Amino acid sequence: QPPAVVREARKQLDGAGVKLAILDTGFFKVPLPESPAKLDEQWALLDRAFSNADILGTDLIRTFAFTYPKGGSAAGGDYPRSYDLVAQAAEKARKAGFRFAVENVGGSYVGTSMDSEKLLAAIDNPALGLTWDPNNAAQMGDKEPFPAGYKRLDPKRIFHVHLRDYKRTPDGSAEWCGVGQGEFDHVGQIRAMLADGYKGAFSLETHFKIDGSKAKASEFSMRNLLERIKQV
C-alpha cells in the first residue's frame, strides 16, 4: 500500500486506541528465487515492510522461510540456501531496528515444530524468532504440537502466536474448525507460554466459515477463546 494509505491506517488505529502488535507480510513466502532479479523483488518488499512497520509503530514483522517449488517437497529442498537468505534478512532487520517472526506454515521449509527448531538452531540472531502456529504444525504432521512440539522450541524466541482449532484427519493432517470444536489445548498452551515469560500477543486466525461467513466463524471462535482465557 502507498505510504499515505498506511499513515491513514495508523491514524485510525490511534483513534480507536489500538496498538499494532505485528505487521503481517508475505516476505519470503515464495519459492527460493531462481535469479538475482527475483531476489531483488524480495529485498524491495522487505524495504517496504520496514517503512510500513515504522509508520504503524511496531518493530515486529511476520515473515516466512520460503515455500517448496510447485510440485516439490521438503525432501528435495535446499535448506542451506533457505537458512542463508533468512539469516541475511534477519541481519538487515536487526540493523534497521526490527525483529522477524517467521511463521511455520504448510508448504514451507518451516512447517512443523521440528522445522522451527532447526531454523532457530541454524540462525543465532536475536532479531530472528517465530510466529508459532501450533495448528499449522498439526496440519503439517506434528502429532502433538502441544505440549511435545512446543517443548522443542526456545520460548524466548517465540515472538508471536496464532491460535485457532483443528480436527485430525485420517491421513494425519488437520482440518480447521471453531475454537473448542477441535482437539487443540488452548488453555495448556497459553498457560505454558505465560509460565515461560511470554509477553507477546496472540492472534486469532479463523480459516473456516459458519453459514458461508468468516465473520460469524470469527465471532464464534473469539467467544470460545475468551472463555478459555478465563481458565488460564
C-alpha cell at 59: 518493530
Domain that holds residue 214: 3-229
Mean pLDDT, residues 181-209 taken together:
97
Task: Give the C-alpha separation, 101 to 127, whole Å.
Answer: 8
Strand residue runs (E) in the chain: 23-24, 60-63, 99-103, 128-132, 158-163, 165-168, 174-177, 202-204
Q: What is the mean pLDDT of residues 204-212?
A: 94
Residue corresponding to grid cell 491513514: 8
Residues 93-103 pLDDT 10s: 999 999 999 99
Give per-residue pLDDT as tens, 50-86.
999 999 999 999 999 999 887 777 666 799 999 999 9
Buried b / exposed e over 183-203, threshold 16 CB at 10 Å, is ebbbeebbebbeeeebebebb
Question: Which cell numbers in the block locate residue 135?
Answer: 495448528
C-alpha closest to that of 201 among 131, 110, 102, 107: 131
Domain total in the chain: 1
Helix, strand, coil percent content, the chain, rounded in steps of 5: 45, 15, 35
Q: Pick left, alpha or beta for residue 57 (phi over 0 → left; psi -120 to 50 → alpha; otherwise beta).
A: left
Q: Which three cell numbers stand for residue 120?
A: 532457530
Distance from CA of residue 206 to its chain's centroid? 14
C-alpha cell at 160: 508471536
DSSP structure string for 155-215: GGGEEEEEE-EEEE-TTS-EEEE-TTSSS--HHHHHHHHHHTT--S-EEE---S-BTTBHH
| Model confidence pLDDT, tens digit, residues 31-50 | 999 999 999 999 999 999 99
CATH number of residue 58's parent domain: 3.20.20.150
Residue 221's pLDDT is 98
Q: Which pairing describes strands 174-177 and 128-132: parallel, antiparallel, or unpaired?
A: unpaired
Query: How far apart are alpha carbons 34 and 43 in whole angstroms?
Result: 14
